[in-house]
C-alpha cells in the first residue's frame, strides 16, 4: 500500500454537455493533478466527483479511468459509499480489484440510520472487499454526526484507517486525535487547513486542490513546520480564491479555471447547473487571472 498521508485532490469529473463522462477530459484533469499540482494522491468518487448523481456503471468507469491514467504514480482512494449497501460492496470489490490503496465510504445518509446500522455498513463493506476503509464524515451534507466514542466503536475494525473530516468542529477533531493517535485524519475543508493542520491532521482531501494544490501543500507544510504566520498568509490568499469559487458555483468554477489552462474539464452533471453563464465565466476568468496564472 502507498503512503496515504499528504495532499489529495478530490477528483473532479469532466462531463459532456449531454451528461456522459468525457474520458479524455477526465484523463487531462488527472494528469493536471499529478504533473502540475504534484498531489500525493487522488480521492476518486467523492462529492467533488459529483458521484451521488451517477449510475453504478459510471462510477466504475471513473474508477477504471483514474487507475489507468494514474497507474502507480500516486496513491488512490475510492469513495464507494452509497445508501445502497449492495452498490457500495460492488463498487468496493471493483476498486479493490483495480488496486486502489484504500476505500472510503460516506456515512449512509437520507434515512436516520442508527449507529449500529452505520457500524454494520462499514463492517460489511470491509468484510466483503478485504480493503482498507476511510470513514467519510461530512455532516453538513449528510446530517450524520459521529461522536468520539462512536469513532472508537468503528475503529475496533482494524481495517478502518481513519476519517476524512469535512467539518469545522475543531473540538471534535482535537478529541479524536487525542483519543486515537494511531488513526489518521484527513482535513476536508480546504479553507480551514491551518487550524486542521495545527491540530495534527495527517493529510487533506480537497476539491480546490485541483487548481490550488501547490498553495495547499505550502499551507500544510508551513503549519507542520510551526511557521503559523507564514501559513496563515497563504491561507488568506487561498481563501480569497475559495470565497470567489464558492460564490460563483463550486465545481463549475473550478472546471472553468481548469479550462483556462487547456484542461478539457467539461460540464457539470444535472441536477447541478451543467453550464456556466457568461457572468460565471467572467468571474472564473477573473479568479484565474488573479490567483492561478
- Using the minimum distance from each CB to ligand MN9, give the nearer residue, 89 or 211: 211
C-alpha cell at 273: 447547473
Rounded CA separation 1/9 (Å): 18
Query: Closest distance between ligand MN9 and the C-beta of residue 193, in Å?
Result: 9
- Using the minimum distance from each CB to ligand MN9, give the nearer residue, 42 or 90: 42
- Using the minimum distance from each CB to ligand MN9, give the nearer residue, 28 or 51: 51
Query: Closest distance between ligand MN9 and the C-beta of residue 25, in Å?
Result: 19
- Using the minimum distance from each CB to ligand MN9, give the nearer residue, 101 or 190: 190
- Using the minimum distance from each CB to ligand MN9, give the nearer residue, 45 or 46: 46
Interface residues with ligand MN9 (CB under 6 A) are 10, 46-48, 166, 188-191, 205-208, 242, 246, 250
Work out whether the CA dihedral 228, 229, 231, 237 comes out positive or negative: positive
Query: Closest distance between ligand MN9 and the C-beta of residue 215, in Å?
Result: 13
Query: Closest distance between ligand MN9 and the C-beta of residue 104, in Å?
Result: 10
Annotated catalytic residue within 59, 60, 67, 164:
164
Cβ-defined contacts of 173-176 (< 8 Å, 24+): 173/199, 173/201, 174/199, 175/148, 176/148, 176/151
Query: Closest distance between ligand MN9 and the C-beta of residue 127, in Å?
Result: 26
Annotated catalytic residue within 43, 100, 136, 251:
136
Query: Closest distance between ligand MN9 and the C-beta of residue 87, in Å?
Result: 20
Q: CA torsion, points 254, 285, 245, 110, in degrees to nearest 10?
A: -50
Q: Cα angle vertex 72, ends 203, 98, to 5°?
A: 95
Does the annotation mark 136 as catalytic? yes
Residues identified as active-site:
136, 164
Amino acid at each position: 500500500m502507498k503512503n496515504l498521508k499528504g495532499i489529495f485532490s478530490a477528483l473532479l469529473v469532466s462531463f459532456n454537455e449531454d451528461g456522459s463522462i468525457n474520458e479524455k477530459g477526465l484523463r487531462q484533469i488527472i494528469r493536471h493533478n499529478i504533473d502540475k499540482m504534484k498531489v500525493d494522491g487522488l480521492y476518486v468518487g467523492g462529492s467533488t466527483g459529483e458521484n451521488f448523481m451517477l449510475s453504478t456503471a459510471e462510477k466504475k468507469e471513473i474508477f477504471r479511468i483514474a487507475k489507468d491514467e494514474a497507474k502507480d504514480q500516486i496513491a488512490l482512494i475510492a469513495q464507494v459509499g452509497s445508501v445502497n449497501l449492495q452498490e457500495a460492496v460492488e463498487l468496493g470489490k471493483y476498486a479493490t480489484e483495480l488496486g486502489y490503496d484504500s476505500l472510503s465510504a460516506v456515512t449512509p445518509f437520507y434515512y436516520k440510520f442508527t449507529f449500529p446500522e452505520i457500524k454494520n455498513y462499514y463492517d460489511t463493506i470491509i468484510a466483503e472487499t478485504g480493503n482498507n476503509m476511510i470513514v467519510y464524515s461530512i455532516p453538513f451534507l449528510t446530517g450524520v454526526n459521529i461522536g468520539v466514542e462512536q469513532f472508537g466503536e468503528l475503529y475496533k475494525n482494524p481495517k478502518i484507517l481513519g476519517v476524512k473530516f469535512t467539518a469545522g468542529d475543531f473540538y471534535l477533531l482535537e478529541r479524536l486525535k487525542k483519543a486515537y493517535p494511531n488513526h489518521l485524519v484527513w482535513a476536508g475543508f480546504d479553507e480551514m487547513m491551518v487550524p486542521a493542520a495545527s491540530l495534527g491532521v495527517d493529510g487533506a482531501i480537497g476539491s480546490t486542490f485541483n487548481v490550488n494544490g501547490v498553495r495547499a501543500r505550502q499551507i500544510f507544510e508551513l503549519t507542520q513546520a510551526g511557521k503559523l504566520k507564514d501559513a496563515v498568509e497563504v491561507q488568506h490568499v487561498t481563501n480569497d480564491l475559495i470565497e470567489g469559487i464558492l460564490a460563483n458555483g463550486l465545481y463549475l468554477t473550478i472546471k472553468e479555471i481548469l479550462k483556462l489552462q487547456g484542461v478539457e474539464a467539461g460540464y457539470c452533471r444535472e441536477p447541478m447547473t451543467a453550464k456556466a453563464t457568461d457572468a460565471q465565466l467572467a468571474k472564473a476568468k477573473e479568479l484565474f487571472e488573479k490567483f492561478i496564472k
